[in-house]
């Protein structure tokens, strides 16, 4: 998914024309019952604002609103009336452009917009890429909300459920710890083929013997880090640890030594986006159920990295 050539000025003009026309035709009508517990917000007749959708989601999260969270607005206003919603892993420039084309002004992304966990932009103030992206968002009045901490705090975790369902492993997951999955015995190679096919992955990196039999898995989507990876191996003694991403100098070296010391554990690195993308589909389904009158679309941001 590489769109390297792009005619900026023309496409911008076309988009602006498109959104001008589409805003009047895309309805944002909210069913009345959904507003019942959204007290204290500005109600705009038959429309719904960004804040109302955020509050509706957060009200379903055990523990409710977090005092400290990265799930903040990265651009735009909470009072914006929503014309359409896009769910995605990363609000890349390409995803923003597609949202504009769809007449959608609200992007719900799982990961940061500006390249670091807390979306600190101070250090980027004079950066050309940052300035371009921030201007694009502003020009089209796009609101970006990161929904990371909240969706992971759902019980069960919305991302984990999405991934398990896409892998067809929901029925194999431990009811108490969904990340622990016992599948019918298969070779490591067979397991990887299955994951690649179900999650649309071109290539994975792994440590292990392709022919070794595996059944007990620990699945940790995203980038949980060395400590959680090692804790999971020690606690659950899986045949395979499947992760989104890891640091080569940390988890990979631990697994290599674990095998050299006699353990059987294998490691499969799925890729961060592929490992959590089903969470964006989970979000899409939530929106379709809870805010059915607003058009919502899942736009996969694709992998950042290619293989050659
Ligand atoms: Zn995540």
Establish if 308 belongs to a structural domain: no
Report pLDDT for 46. 75
Report pLDDT for 45. 52
CATH number, residue 222:
3.40.1390.30
Q: How far is the CA of 290 from the centre of ligand 1 (A)?
A: 22
C-alpha–C-alpha distance, residues 95 and 162, integer Å? 21
Report pLDDT for 210. 98
Instruction: List residues, by chain if needed, whose CB lies under 5 Å from ion ligand 1.
Output: 222, 276
Establish if 20 belongs to a structural domain: yes
Establish if 299 belongs to a structural domain: no
Number of compact structural domains in the chain:
2
216-259 residue pLDDT tens: 999 999 999 999 999 999 999 999 999 999 999 999 999 999 99
Q: How far is the CA of 116 from the centre of ligand 1 (A)?
A: 14
79-115 residue pLDDT tens: 999 999 999 999 999 999 999 999 999 999 999 999 9
Report pLDDT for 129. 98
Q: How far is the CA of 51 from the centre of ligand 1 (A)?
A: 22
23-79 residue pLDDT tens: 333 333 333 333 333 433 344 457 999 999 999 999 999 999 999 999 999 999 999
Domain that holds residue 204: 158-272
C-alpha–C-alpha distance, residues 276 and 224, integer Å? 12
Q: Cβ(232)–Cβ(238) under 8 Å?
A: yes
115-141 residue pLDDT tens: 999 999 999 999 999 999 999 999 999
SS3 10: helix
Q: Which long-range contacts (CB under 8 A, 24 or more apart) does 115-121 make?
A: 117/70, 118/70, 119/70, 119/72, 119/74, 119/146
Domain boundary among 137, 154, 171: 154
Query: Does residue 126 sit in the same domain as residue 196?
Result: no
pTM of the model: 0.83
Q: How far is the CA of 152 from the centre of ligand 1 (A)?
A: 7
Examine the pLDDT at 263 and tell me if it is beyond 60: yes
Query: Does residue 184 sit in the same domain as residue 267?
Result: yes
Domain boundary among 100, 135, 154: 154
In order, the DSSP letters of 135-146 are: HHHHHTT-EEEE
Q: How far is the CA of 220 from the centre of ligand 1 (A)?
A: 10
What's the mean pLDDT when you consider all of the chain?
A: 88
Establish if 89 belongs to a structural domain: yes
């Amino acid at each position: 998914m590489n769109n390297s050539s792009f005619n900026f000025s023309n496409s911008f003009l076309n988009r602006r024309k498109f959104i001008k026309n589409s805003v009047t035709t895309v309805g944002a009508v909210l069913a009345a019952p959904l507003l019942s517990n959204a007290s204290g917000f500005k109600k705009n007749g038959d429309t719904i604002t960004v804040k109302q959708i955020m509050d509706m989601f957060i009200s379903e999260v055990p523990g409710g609103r977090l005092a400290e969270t990265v799930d903040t607005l990265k651009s735009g206003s909470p009072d914006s009336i929503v014309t359409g919603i896009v769910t995605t892993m990363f609000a890349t420039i390409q995803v923003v452009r597609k949202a504009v084309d769809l007449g959608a002004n609200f992007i719900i992304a799982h990961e940061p917009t500006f390249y670091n966990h807390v979306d600190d932009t101070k250090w980027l103030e004079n950066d050309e890429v940052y300035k371009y992206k921030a201007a694009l968002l502003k020009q089209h009045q796009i609101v970006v909300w990161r929904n990371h901490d909240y969706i992971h705090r759902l019980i069960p975790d919305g991302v984990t459920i999405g991934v398990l369902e896409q892998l067809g492993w929901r029925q194999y997951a431990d009811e108490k710890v969904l990340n622990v999955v016992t599948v019918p015995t298969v070779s490591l190679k067979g397991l990887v083929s299955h994951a690649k096919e179900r999650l649309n992955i071109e290539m994975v990196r792994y440590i292990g013997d392709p022919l070794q039999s595996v059944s007990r898995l620990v699945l940790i989507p995203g980038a949980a880090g060395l400590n959680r990876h090692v804790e999971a191996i020690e606690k659950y003694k899986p045949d395979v640890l499947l992760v989104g991403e890891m640091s080569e100098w940390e988890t990979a070296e631990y697994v290599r030594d674990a095998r050299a010391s006699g353990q059987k554990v294998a490691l499969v690195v799925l890729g961060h986006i592929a490992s959590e993308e089903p969470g964006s589909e989970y979000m899409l389904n939530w929106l379709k159920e809870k805010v059915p009158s607003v058009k919502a679309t899942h736009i996969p941001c694709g992998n950042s990295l290619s293989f050659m």
